[in-house]
Structure 1
Amino acid sequence: MSKLTLKSEIQNEWEDFMQEGYTYSMQGNSVEAARVWRELWNKMYAVLKADDSISMEDLDGAFHGMQSIYNWSTDFEMELGNASKEVSSFAQTRIEFCNTYIAKCQDKSEPNLEGMKWALCESYFDLEEIEEGERLFQKYLEESPTSGWGWIGWSDQYGIFAKKNKDNEKAMRILKKALEIEGLQDRFHVLERLDDLFMEMGMHQEAAEVRQKVLDEMKTKNASRPKATLPPLIKAVPVTSAKIGRNEPCPCGSGFKHKKCCGK
């Protein structure tokens, strides 16, 4: 049981902010959703700051709204990422939020943490603070070297979704390094991203070889939604994985997260 108790007026205020943000989010208005939720987070942060012993788990346990703080946190992070494409200041808010979430989460195996770490790294790239983004990607991947989506996230800062730091060669090296790691999670998706990258670079033979590995992976793991045939050697647009993560860039190239774009 949470050691934190929230007064009813605080509960109601937080719930109003949360639902208002979800209304904007469902309308596809990431900037307004992020603005409202930033106000909500400032109120939550004041509670956390007032007592260093209060954790995110305590905050979540004390709140009794329609949505849990645990689930809302990932939506807030995602909307901050989307909103930062239009208003750069939201990238700094995203950094501050992710840092606090990571520091205040007692359970270091908590599933949200990994996504917060990659979002933190990505936000530094969005602010063009490349050295810090690189440092954090390297740090977190040293701690969790088998995280396939971590490697993909790092590669994407330079690869097919990059707009400011385009460097396909570096993106390719990152993905190849990931594939050398024994026990790599989501290897299937790392291979698919490498396939897309090879095709963009015009390396058709290499892409064909990777696509064969993708098919082999699908057969081995009995993937639920495999590609029926090999894609053509020339693609008009980048082809993404059959399963697109909630925090992965939308394949349409909008710059928004898939969930808030074509994945609605």
Structure 2
Amino acid sequence: MSKLVLKSETQNEWEDLMQEGYTHSMKRNSVEAVRVWTELWNRIRDVLKADDNISMEDIDGAFHGMQSIYNWTTDFEMELGNASKKDKSFAQTRIEFCKAYITKYRDKSESNLEGMKWALCESYFDLGEIEEGERLFQKYLEESPTSGWGWIGWSDQYSLFAKKHNKDNDKAIQILEKALEIEGLQDRFYALERLEDLYMKVGRQQEATEVRKHLDQMKAKNAVRPKVALPPMIKAVPVTSVKIGRNDPCTCGSGQKYKKCCGR
């Protein structure tokens, strides 16, 4: 294992870039945040390239700023997703970042890697490279078949977050139905919620009713949606009488996922 040591000058430069990006992020200025953070990522990547034995864990352990590299990488990926809604070039940056992160993270069982994998798949759909997005969703779900949010994310590419030319509710339903056949599927409640909504959209009322009964049974057993935790200094946008999940479109109309917008 590499014993990476970062010079104090490097630590200070990284810290300044990280905090500058967070300043923009807190103001909901995703484009400016990722422009700053891309510079930080380029510097981190230079360190990774200098020695094949250096991993993301080594980078995280060697950095002693206000934020951890581990937490920051998740925020960077999230803001890249936001910024790509305004400028598609950021979708390519997101792809390159996620690929590098997945490759350079030593512990392949780390849960954070799954989020990077789904973000990578989504980015290909954002760029209109549907075949590659499909290939990667299938590949990663073969590796982690019980990942509920992986199946939901794949389904969303044909429903909630689909481009007009790629809208296909029937295919979205097929993906979720296949997921729900898997024993031990994680986040089954949320997959069922998505499926109920899709059944309603295509007029399959009877199936929707059956799914709703199942959801009510899960709620009765306390298998209910956890509250969305908001980090300090960010106020939640009041929402009344609206069922909204972390991966649903935000009700503010931004076009972003709730978890990446008002649910942050």
Deviations 1:130-159 (A, max 9, x none): 000000000000000000000000000001
- Partners of 1:160 and 1:168 within 8 A in 2: no
- Partners of 2:250 and 2:257 within 8 A in 1: no
Structure 2 partner of 1:188: 189
Structure 1 partner of 2:24: 24
- Partners of 2:250 and 2:261 within 8 A in 1: no
- Partners of 1:102 and 1:116 within 8 A in 2: yes
Matches within 5 A, 1:105-144: 105-144=105-144
- Residue 87 of structure 1 deviates from its aligned partner by 0.6
Distance in 2, matches of 1:48 and 1:97, equals: 12
> Closer, same or farther in 2 for the Cα pair 1:162/1:224, shift >3 Å?
closer
- Residue 220 of structure 1 deviates from its aligned partner by 3.1
Coordinate RMSD, CA, aligned: 1.9
DSSP 3-state at the match of 1:146: coil
Distance in 2, matches of 1:186 and 1:116, equals: 18
- Residue 177 of structure 1 deviates from its aligned partner by 0.2
> Closer, same or farther in 2 for the Cα pair 1:225/1:75, shift >3 Å?
closer
Distance in 2, matches of 1:172 and 1:115, equals: 22
Structure 2 partner of 1:61: 61
Structure 2 partner of 1:84: 84
Structure 1 partner of 2:234: none
- Partners of 1:102 and 1:113 within 8 A in 2: yes
Structure 2 partner of 1:197: 198
Distance in 1, matches of 2:158 and 2:53, equals: 39
- Residue 161 of structure 1 deviates from its aligned partner by 2.8
Distance in 2, matches of 1:80 and 1:224, equals: 27
Q: Moved runs in structure 1, 4+ residues, more than 3 A?
A: none
TM-score when normalising by structure 1: 0.89
Question: How many residues are treated as equivalent by the alignment?
Answer: 249
DSSP 3-state at the match of 1:149: helix
- Partners of 2:146 and 2:184 within 8 A in 1: yes
Distance in 1, matches of 2:7 and 2:39, equals: 18
Unmatched tracts of structure 1, length 5 or more: 227-238
Task: Give the stretch that moved more between structures: 197-206 or 98-107.
Answer: 197-206
- Partners of 1:250 and 1:257 within 8 A in 2: yes
Structure 2 partner of 1:172: 173
DSSP 3-state at the match of 2:140: helix
Distance in 2, matches of 1:203 and 1:254, equals: 29
Distance in 2, matches of 1:213 and 1:179, equals: 12
Structure 2 partner of 1:72: 72
Distance in 1, matches of 2:32 and 2:19, equals: 12
- Partners of 1:99 and 1:120 within 8 A in 2: yes
Distance in 2, matches of 1:173 and 1:224, equals: 24
Deviations 1:143-184 (A, max 9, x none): 000000000000000013322410000000000000000110
- Residue 222 of structure 1 deviates from its aligned partner by 3.9
Distance in 1, matches of 2:96 and 2:74, equals: 14
- Residue 121 of structure 1 deviates from its aligned partner by 0.3
Deviations 1:212-248 (A, max 9, x none): 111112223442669xxxxxxxxxxxx655xx33xx2
> Closer, same or farther in 2 for the Cα pair 1:124/1:225, shift >3 Å?
closer
